[in-house]
Amino acid sequence: MAGRTIRSSSHRDQHSSQTKEQDQTSDIPDISAERVGRVVASEARERASKPGEFVDARSMASGRSVGSQIDESTFGNNGFLARSKVIHFPQRERERIHTKHRVLTIRIVSTVLAIATVCALVWGLLFSPLLVLDSTQIHIGGTNTWVSDARVKALVTDQAGKSLLLVQSGKLEEQIRALPGVTQAEVTKNYPHGLTVHVQAQVPAAILKADSTMVAVDNKGRILNDVHTAVDGIPVIEVSQIESALKQTSVNQAVQILGSLDENTRKRISTVEAKTRDSITTKLDDNALTIIWGDASKLKLKMAIVTTLLSQPDTLAGATTIDVSAPDRPIIK
């Protein structure tokens, strides 16, 4: 009986102790989270070091490790570096190869198109009928009796059927100037199919006469045309044979001198003698006045002396000979 009483008393004491503890706990004031934050911040300010003070690292709060932050699911959401994306390398390799093939294909197609465009352009401009020279649209101007239109056109017509871009104007002008009697030539392209040629044709320097055969020659001794009768204003040189005469130095010297004379003087010439290369002589006014030229050297000076004397009849004073074979010492007699 006594034992039971003791256990009951102990149970009551334990219950009374728990009741007191609960009462004490209820007496603790309720501290809000905001207040706790202010307290922690205040303590942190108190622990913060001032400039120049010694800082004990042991008193500093330990931070969270980088590894633990990386493992969190929210890592990188606020601008922090995030773990790199895992790349599937076989797929990336296939994408790289596909891109390479696409770029290569584009380059090949672009090159083929460029070559095709250039070929089409070249064919259109050089080989198609687009710019072909039409022989019916070739026009010749400036010719005369001695340099015929047909002779010049025969040379130019060889270019018919070619593209105007392939017709070399400079080369064609040289070929035309090489024709006997032509002193100048100008070629103009008239797109898309025409060509105009203008020449400056000279009057023959002389007419070579062998028996009943007469030919007109230029100042270089080149044959222009056959002549049936003498032409006013063109001096006549009598020779034994036309072909052999053209090879003689004396005849070539004579036509060079005659070709340099002005039109009025040429009309006054009645006879030309070319026996030797340095004894070229012309007779004016029905053989009333003889001019001894010698050869064709210093021709400009000789021409100036003769022209001056012929323009001053009083100076000649009935003289019948003007000798300019030595132009530095002309003789009038």
The HSE-up count of residue 52 (CA atoms within 13 Å, CB side) is 0
Q: Which residues pair with 292 in a beta bridge?
A: 281, 323
Q: How far is 315 from 330, CA to CA, in rounded Å?
A: 13
At residue 125, the pLDDT reads 76
The residues pairing with 184 across neighbouring beta strands, listed in sequence order, are: 200
Strand partners, 196: 139, 188
Which residues lie across from 200 on neighbouring strands?
184
Give the integer Cα–Cα distance in Å for 148 and 185: 14
Instruction: Find all residues with CB under 8 Å of 18, minimum gap 6, and list them.
Output: none
Which pLDDT score is estimated for 25?
Answer: 44
Q: Which two tokens stand for residue 160?
A: 């018919």
Q: DSSP class of residue 333?
A: -
Contacts of 197 (CB under 8 A, 6+ apart): 138, 139, 140, 141, 152, 153, 156, 172, 176, 185, 186, 187, 188
DSSP state for residue 126 in the 8-state scheme: I
Structure tokens at 159: 């270019």
**Which amino acid would we find at residue 8?**
S
* pLDDT score at 10: 45
Structure confidence at residue 7 (pLDDT): 43
| Phi and psi, residue 325, nearest 5° | -65, -30
pLDDT at 203: 87
Omega into 330 within 30° of 0, i.e. cis?
A: no
Give 10-residue mean pLDDT values along the chain (333 residues).
41 48 46 57 58 61 58 55 58 83 91 89 79 91 86 89 89 91 91 92 91 90 86 90 92 93 91 91 92 94 93 86 94 91
Closest listed residue to residue 254, CA positions, set 240, 241, 272: 272
Q: Which amino acid is at 272?
A: V
Task: Identify whether the C-beta of residue 236 lies closer than 8 Å to the C-beta of residue 209.
Answer: yes
